[in-house]
Amino acid sequence: MRSKNNTRSRKKSIQGLRSFKDSLPKTIREKILNKGDIYSKIIDNWKIIVGNKLFKACFPKSFINLKNSGVKRLNVAVKKGHEIDVEYSRDIIIARINDFLGYKFINKIKLVSYRRDKK
């Protein structure tokens, strides 16, 4: 095979298939590499981080990184009626997430309530 200067790729590559990472646009690639892995770790280990009681009452909804102010916020969806329990344990959840990851990752938690009707 001969070397080819591929314009869609970041590096010179051998002619043929290129990796999935190289075929993504640069902005999406940066977002996936920066916060996708950590957010998925938090979701996978949410029961270990918060405990069984809070696990039934809430779950992580999204992650927002405000670069200008240095705030890293985790949005947590909470079932109606359990807002007070999660509010009182907000600081404990932040401390457990940061201890789980090994460094200070989350600054704030925003609670978003939802109602789940069973039919």
Mean pLDDT of 90-116: 89
Give yes or no for residue 71 having a pLDDT over 70. yes
Give yes or no for residue 88 having a pLDDT over 90. yes
Map out the domains of the chain as residue ranges.
58-119
> In the prediction, which pLDDT does 77 show?
93
CA distances from 83 to 1, 14, 16 (A): 61, 55, 54
> In the prediction, which pLDDT does 39 show?
80
Calculate ∠ Cα 62-99-63, nearest 5°.
10
Q: Provide the pLDDT confidence category of residue 110 given band limits of 50, 70 and 90.
A: very high
For the chain, the average pLDDT equals: 79
